[in-house]
A and B are shown apart, each in its own frame.
Chain A
Amino acid sequence: MSRISLAFSSFFGLLFGGQLPDSVILALGLSKRSAKTSAAAAPAPKVDVSDGALQLLALLQRDARLLDFLMEDVSPYSDEQVGAAVRNIHESSRATLQRYLSLQPVIDGVEGAVTQLSAAGSLKNDPGAIKLLGNVPADGNVKAGTLRHKGWKVEKIELPALQVKTNLKILAPAEIEVE
């Protein structure tokens, strides 16, 4: 299918049928997951996976102006000029992260020291939580190694409750001052 016709069939399929037409799924190489729809359950408020991400971005912009910083072209400015601003942004970003997230290392050890994988507790067998580097044996069974990075994990996330009407796509409002 051409891009145009793909776009149109997706658009109308979603608009009128509530799902992607089979032809589109086939063309894009997607697979259809059968979402278990229990008709009896009341529809929960719709939360998109991206909601939390957008909200966190908006918070970092509001409290620390992180977006302004990341989206600005810093190449014309001296290190000193950039450094002056960064102290400020760093301090506020950190405060914001610590307020809404509780961040912990995956392994609370000393980097560079020989460390048991069991120090990661229940995460010790999770390849997403511990990345093995170097000469890893064929069966992947490793008990210890040198800790190169402690890793980060979120223990708790407490974002402010969203109001129904919030447009999350607005990360920062435009500001207009009335003279």
Chain B
Amino acid sequence: MVIGIDLGTTNSALAFGEDEAVQAFAVEQVVQPGEVRAESLLPSFVYLPGPKDFAEGATALPWDEQPKYVVGTLARRRGAESMGRLVASAKSWLSYAGVDRNEAILPVHAPDGVAKISPVEASRAYLEHLNEAWQHAGHPALGEHEVVLTVPASFDAVARQLTEKAAREAGITKLVLLEEPQAAFYAWIGKHADWREKVGPGDRVLIIDIGGGTTDFTLIDVKDQGGELTLERVAVGDHILLGGDNMDLALARHLETKMPKLDAQQLQALWQQCRAAKEVLLDPESTVTAQPVTILGRGSSLIGGTIKSKLTRAEVEQILVEGFFPHVAPDEELAKTRRSALTEIALPYASDARITAHLAHFVKQCGAAPTHVLFNGGVLRAGLVRDRILSSLNLWLPKPVKVLDGEDLMLAVARGAAYYGLARQGKGIRIRGGVPRTYYVGIEDAMPAVPGMAAPMKAFTVVPFGMEEGTAHQYPGRKFGLYVGEPVEFRIFSSTERRGDEAGALLEPMPKDLKELPAMEITLAPTAKTPVGLVAVTLESHVTATGVLELFCVAASGDRWKLEFSVRERKA
């Protein structure tokens, strides 16, 4: 048996595959105080309960009478009433280099005295819950199975490493990481036995994944190799913190201006009603042109305090189309707002809300034009949104794209992950792709020091774009002198856009568009063959079979030291 887990920003799901059949698993969770139910999704929320939050035993799970945290539906529900104790969007924090992701920082606005948790700990809590629920349903622990865990394609090496850490701490040992858009594509393949008739050699499939909080793009090439179709992931986009929640919030803000002042809970209700109204209005089958939005009065005066409004299809279309999906030129630049030097710790939300502009940027950066589109994510259930994206693409591209459809947009990722697990066991096709970025080590120019001037940097390519799982690169030609016994720091850079830099290429000067990751720190421990002192080492890069990037320093004597990302806050 193979397990697929979609560890989502707002919802998580688990699917399992056996003999080529993939099934979704309903996750038992506390949905209301004292009430446990199995639901198809586990909302990715942790609530840190205070002494007066719940009656004794109200958060008990069948496998744990007194859980430390509340996870899932009840956490989301109670958190809406008491935001200060709610941990949300842990996954976005996991990919944010601006904070120490192992440090207990969540919830950011918790009242003093609340024991916060780290983004890694929150991710662990979701996985642990899934593990317990899975066992309670009568299965062996997740550690006994091969588990395919999905991550956004845009997760960098550090975010992947932290996800892996959270999974191991949750008891998942046989772990494989898979990119979410690829999982969605596997789900599509799994559902269409005749997929080879729908795509052929030379086709390029653009996967557009718009979730609750994030948007992700991926491009997969279909190729012919000795008469067999092969799939290769050739590009992934940047991590964009922008999704369906932003759209619902925009609708709610629009209606809020027409209403008397609402309190926090009524705003929450308004947000949910706008989401529901949007889904009804944008349903391709629906003929209604307006949907009532009613906020019931607070307190026991329900009718008297009821606030009535409505959302029309025209309003929804206008707000979504103008705000999120305007037609843009194919070479549209993304708007960048200047951020003030002093910002509160917060997620780096996209400053440009135009998803079409982000898409234009991605398509331009890909070079060749996509021929097919596969949609994933709840937002794309709306016909209007799909149509807008298609009409935008068709404005830019020489030939109209075809849509690959027919998957469940909410559960596709977990199902696809399980399908991929089966594929790894030789029961289906695999997408080749390797590492979706190029990684560089920064090297300082050796030159006489000039006060007030940083030494110019060069970038040495250690992991070329698309380096495959289970391969390694060695660079014997470039030696570094390191002091054994003293801490040294490697500056690591990456790019999703530079795909032509070959292994070992030295970029001089360093291009400006590289992104810096947390540094890799190492103190070479002396060994029998390498005493304390200066030693010449070369670098070696590995991509493990599970998709994790590793760097080693290798001495001529054969001694090896593994470099680790130090996931501390990067000083600006």
Using CB atoms and an 8 Å cutoff, list the residues of chain A in contact with chain B. Answer: 62, 65, 68-69, 71-72, 74, 76-77, 81-82, 84-85, 87-89, 160-166, 177
Contact = CB atoms under 8 A, between A and B. Distances in A.
A160 B34 contact: yes
A68 B294 CA distance: 16
A81 B300 contact: no
Contacts of B32: 62, 160
Contacts, number: 57
Interface of B: 32, 34-36, 55-58, 60, 263, 292, 294, 296-297, 300-304, 306, 308
A165 B303 contact: no
Nearest to B31: A160
A165 B263 CA distance: 32
Contacts of A68: 300-302
Given A84-B294, A84-B308, A88-B294, A164 B57 contact: yes
A164 B263 CA distance: 34
A85 B305 CA distance: 10
A166 B296 contact: no
Contacts of A164: 57
Contact of B294 (A77, A85, A163): A85
20 contacts: A62-B32, A68-B301, A68-B302, A71-B300, A74-B303, A77-B303, A81-B303, A82-B303, A85-B296, A85-B303, A85-B306, A89-B296, A160-B34, A163-B55, A163-B56, A163-B57, A163-B60, A164-B57, A165-B56, A166-B55
A142 B304 CA distance: 50
Contacts of B302: 65, 68-69, 72, 85, 89
Nearest to B36: A160
Contacts of A69: 302-303
A71 B300 CA distance: 8
B375 to A, nearest CB: 29
Nearest to B308: A84
B56 to A, nearest CB: 6
B37 to A, nearest CB: 8
A69 B297 CA distance: 10
A74 B300 CA distance: 12
Contacts of B263: 177
Nearest to A88: B294
A38 B308 CA distance: 60
Contacts of A74: 303
A160 B28 CA distance: 13
